[in-house]
Every structure is written in structure tokens, then in C-alpha cells.
Amino acid sequence: GAGVSQSPSNKVTEKGKDVELRCDPISGHTALYWYRQSLGQGLEFLIYFQGNSAPDKSGLPSDRFSAERTGGSVSTLTIQRTQQEDSAVYLCASSPRRASETQYFGPGTRLLVL
């Protein structure tokens, strides 16, 4: 595709439910990132995938958060037992190889936990 796509664009869920957010990076990009952006806040790094290497999970806020990247392309961010403080925009970005190159962002998934 022409750019990074994310789905769903909006998600409303009840506290305690699990959610899955999807990211399709730009074709051929080996690096993929997930960020979280709360209302009026900056970008908070969550996790970074690079090729077949073990992901950098240092930004995940709790063990309720996990992510996987299948086949080096599509990635899924899963939040288990959602809490109201998980409400935010979840952004995915990809770059050709690594963080030292420009990252291209998707439109984000707006998650609201009631």
C-alpha cells in the first residue's frame, strides 16, 4: 500500500475486555513501532520490531500489553483486561530499516475504554 494503515480507526470497549489493534506497515519496511498518545500528550514509545530480531518491549506499560509481528509485516498490539487509563490513540509507524531513518506513521486507532 501507499502508506501505513491501521485498524480499526476507532474502538470503544468496556473495562476488563481485551482489544486487538492492527498495523500494516509500508511494504518492504523492516522496522515497525507502536506508540501511544494520550489526549494532549506527546508520543509514548511502546514497542519496536526490527526484522527477525527480538522486539524491544521496554516501553510497554504493563504485562497487559503485548504485541507480535507475523511474517515480518503485519503487527497486532493486544491489550488485555483494558482499563480506563488505556484510553488513547495508538499509533504505528514503520521505517525502511531502523530508527535512524524517517518513520512513517499510520492514522492511529482511537481507543476508548468505558
Partner 1 sequence: GESVGLHLPTLSVQEGDNSIINCAYSNSASDYFIWYKQESGKGPQFIIDIRSNMDKRQGQRVTVLLNKTVKHLSLQIAATQPGDSAVYFCAEISGANNLFFGTGTRLTVIP
User: Please, what sign has the CA dihedral across residues 48, 36, 112, 4?
Assistant: negative
Position among 14, 27, 28, 42 found at the interface with partner 1 (CB under 8 A) = 42
Position among 47, 93, 111, 113 found at the interface with partner 1 (CB under 8 A) = 93
> Please, what is the minimum distance in Å from the beta carbon of residue 49 to partner 1?
11
Q: Quickly count: other Cβ atoms within 10 Å of residue 38's Cβ.
A: 13
- Could you say which residues in the range 12-41 bind partner 1, by CB under 8 A? 33, 35, 40-41
> Helix or strand or coil: residue 70?
helix
Residue 49 interacts with partner 1 (CB under 8 A): yes or no = no
